[in-house]
A and B are shown apart, each in its own frame.
Chain A
Amino acid sequence: AARTDDTTATARADAGDAAPEAEMHTASAEADGSGAAASSHEGGYGLGRPALDEEIAAWDIDIRPDGQGLPRGEGDVWTGEELFVAQCAMCHGDFGEGAGRWPQLALGMGTLTSNDPVKTVGSYWPYLSTVWDYVHRAMPFGNAQSLSDDEVYAITAYILYLNEIVEDDFVLSSDSFAEVEMPNAGAFYMDDRAETELPEFSREVCMENCKEDVKITMRARVLDVTPEGGDDTENAPNEAPAPEEAMDGGDHAASDEASADDAAPAVEQQTETAQADTGGAAPESASTSETEDAPEDIRIVAADPALIADGAKVFRKCQACHQVGADASNRVGPQLNGLLGRTVGSAEGFSYSNTFEKAHDAGEVWTAEHLAEFLADPRGTYTGTKMSFAGLKDDADIEAVTAYIEAEGAE
């Protein structure tokens, strides 16, 4: 039987579907003017259809601390290391130390009481199930739910090893799962604001003569990290922060995302600042010199808007690591402006793998054919590439994404 949360609803259900509209509105009109709540219907409304077991199995992937939802399987630390280096290290670092502003996953124990807490799986996460669940549902970033269950076990085992929670001979399995103790498991408690804050913050307020003397104790402008263009006023221009100030700003910074949690590193910030400072002139510098060699007319003739639009969708698989277009810069992967015709491994300022360095020195060039070969099988084409991407299975996707990169990166 359907739940009924108020008696009016039950009464209406009893009276059948013909309950007068007027009655419904007067029944439970809310004081705040939102009107009457939508009412329950005895026995339900008969909408929707039963979910099939296969459908539930396909979508119900969540794991709980007690192990509910964990599939059978296993993975060891060394298998995990191989997978981690290939699939995760470009963002999280080979040892879980975090690259750039991507999250650090390992160590940081003993920092939670410091001014710079480092929240990692080892130092902060209370449940191992959360790691398995999150890696399985959302990683690798930009290629979610592509790992097999055993691969998730192995990567999770390696993350535990990096955090010195298990030894290097450890095998994580559906059986050994419950034996792992997370160091910070006991450090969480339920929201207690009702006891610790609400009474304190519900007192009578002062309206007159509340302070003897009011002084400004801190100014945002001292460490001004407000983004360029964020300030509309001519009167209050943003002064570009000196690196030291920017670093302070990073230390002060905190949002709920990766970097912000872990405080934006100063080096990264300097880069951002430098880009912001050069403003509109930035795209003119590094990339265009290479694209100038490519014949303009070929690009225009080849530009098929539908194909480029398809390519834009395919490129979402790439954009977690690569940028292309105006303002593109090197991220986890190199920027892709003027890629076709460009020497392999030639994006200025990007630290390439050895295999790319060799290709660069040998004068290899990104032709459409070579790029297609690489995109179909990245690690087969350049063994040892840092690009963990598994490759594009569909030739049409390769053609589309190439058209998109060519179009976006042309100016």
Chain B
Amino acid sequence: QTPDPAITELPPWQQYLGEGVDAAPYGMPSQYETHVVRRNVPWLTADATSSVNFTPLHELDGIITPNGLCFERHHGGVAEVDPAEYRLMINGLVDTPLVFDLQDLMRFPRENRIHFLECAANSGMEWRGAQLNGCQFTHGMIHNVMYTGVPLRLLLEEAGVKTAGTWLLAEGADASAMTRSIPMEKALDDCLVAFKMNGEMLRPEQGYPVRLVVPGWEGNMWVKWLRRIEVGDQPWHHREETSKYTDLFPDGQARRFTWEMDAKSVITNPSPQAPITHGPGRMVLSGVAWSGRGTIPRVDVTLDGGNSWVQARMSGPSFDKSMHRFYHEFDWDGRPLLLQSRAHDSTGYVQPTKDMLREIRGENSIYHNNGIQTWAVNEQGVAENVEVSS
């Protein structure tokens, strides 16, 4: 064996001085990590101002999504709200309709919580079969960050909700003026009016300066650039809860108000964008799991397409309605693999196969596809999105 030049030769970074402090007042990832970016699927939508891009799950580890990699979904582009002109109004069935500015909000008691946000359409392209090669595209409409914000309950208490107030409408300040109806019970339970993510102010594309956090429920309800909360006595049935975000069944009927995100998991490594490059031998399989109904105490993994399963090793903190990280370490003998993961949530729910979902919902419901994902890995370590027989 020849000596390794990475050891025997003096590299430039050991000889010459590097950048001083403040070379990048807001730091960026290494120049060797420029491939770690959100990506979109251009043919999905008519225009980038009403579209979606995807979190590169295969490049991440742990449970926290870096702010710059959190997937984006806009319905009228990114609103660039001037915080000095930011106002939040609460009106409708309240004792006193109120207006808050940003400073008012920051004077309420705050909470810090880590939650996943998943678009209802995540994996929606996979209903009819394996289609996109990469967990970024099949599962990347999700991110998981720590939010700092005021419990919505406190703001509602400030205005005084009238007894008839059983629903609220959250409205955004963007060019789509996004609206969603939310039952009062959820609003009082665990919703936050958040202004920070992972410690810093929200990114513009995530609703700067203020967004709604609706833990465990579909991402569309987490209204960004939140400008108004109206209290009412019935739902509003606006576009995003009738024409969109309703689940069409084969009989032509449609489920509505399918708010909770079912338990789901995906193996992020290896996967089509992250093949095995080191050959047979010791290897680490990893993935993420989450549930809109609680925590994920257990994930099962199969290497043979679902014939035999083993429990993966959960690692890292386990929070309610948050992403969880799992690992499975094993010796790869170099033979082809059919990888799947199966999440169990704290209610006893087990992630179903895609066929189990299709049996009930057909193939046209678009939203809430939480079926088990299969990656086929060949002898070279290349992974592909496939489906296998039941």
Chain A residues with CB under 8 Å of chain B are 1-3, 5, 30, 32-35, 37-41, 44-45, 47-51, 55-56, 59-66, 91, 100-102, 112-113, 115, 117, 119, 121, 124-127, 129-130, 133-134, 137-138, 141-142, 144-145, 187-193, 196-198, 200-203, 205-211, 213-221, 223-227, 229-233, 235-236, 238, 246, 249-261, 264, 268-269, 272, 276, 316, 319-320, 331
Contacts and interface: CB of A to CB of B under 8 A. Distances in A.
B46 A258 contact: yes
B49 to A, nearest CB: 6
A227 B45 contact: no
Contact of A257 (B46, B77, B260, B273): B46
Contact of B108 (A38, A62, A268): A38
Q: Which of B133, B275, B304, B317 gathers the greatest number of chain A CB atoms within 10 Å?
A: B133
A192 B308 contact: no
Contacts of A213: 389
Contacts of B127: 252, 254
Given A233-B273, A252-B129, A210 B119 contact: no
Nearest to B103: A47
Nearest to B302: A210
Nearest to A133: B238
A201 B100 contact: no
9 contacts: A138-B75, A187-B254, A188-B246, A191-B260, A193-B255, A210-B307, A218-B386, A225-B43, A226-B41
Given A113-B250, A191-B255, A211 B305 contact: yes
Given A3-B153, A233-B274, 5 more contacts: A38-B108, A189-B256, A218-B387, A220-B131, A255-B121
Interface stretch (B22-30, B206-214, B377-385): B377-385
Contacts of A198: 347, 349
Interface stretch (B2-10, B110-118, B194-202): B110-118
Contact of B134 (A35, A133, A206, A231): A231
B376 interface: yes
Contacts of A130: 237-239, 242-243
A201 B352 contact: yes
B329 interface: no
Nearest to A204: B350
B91 A217 contact: no
B216 interface: no
Contacts of A319: 49
B242 A226 contact: no
A208 B6 CA distance: 46
B295 interface: yes
A256 B245 contact: yes
Interface in B125-180: 125, 127-134, 136-137, 150-151, 153-154, 156-158, 160-161, 169, 171, 175-177, 179
B111 to A, nearest CB: 5
Contacts of B46: 91, 100-102, 257-259
A51 B89 contact: yes
B80 to A, nearest CB: 8
Interface in B64-116: 75-77, 89-92, 96-100, 104, 107-114
Q: Which 5 A-B pairs have the closest CB atoms?
A: A38-B109, A214-B305, A220-B385, A256-B121, A101-B46
A214 B131 contact: no
Contact of A113 (B251, B352, B382): B251
Given A47-B108, A137-B179, A40 B44 contact: no
Interface string B9-21: 0000000000000
A30 B49 CA distance: 40
Contact of B308 (A62, A210, A221): A210
A258 B306 contact: no
B1 interface: no
A40 B94 CA distance: 17
Contacts of B119: 256
Nearest to A269: B43
A48 B300 contact: no
A217 B387 contact: yes
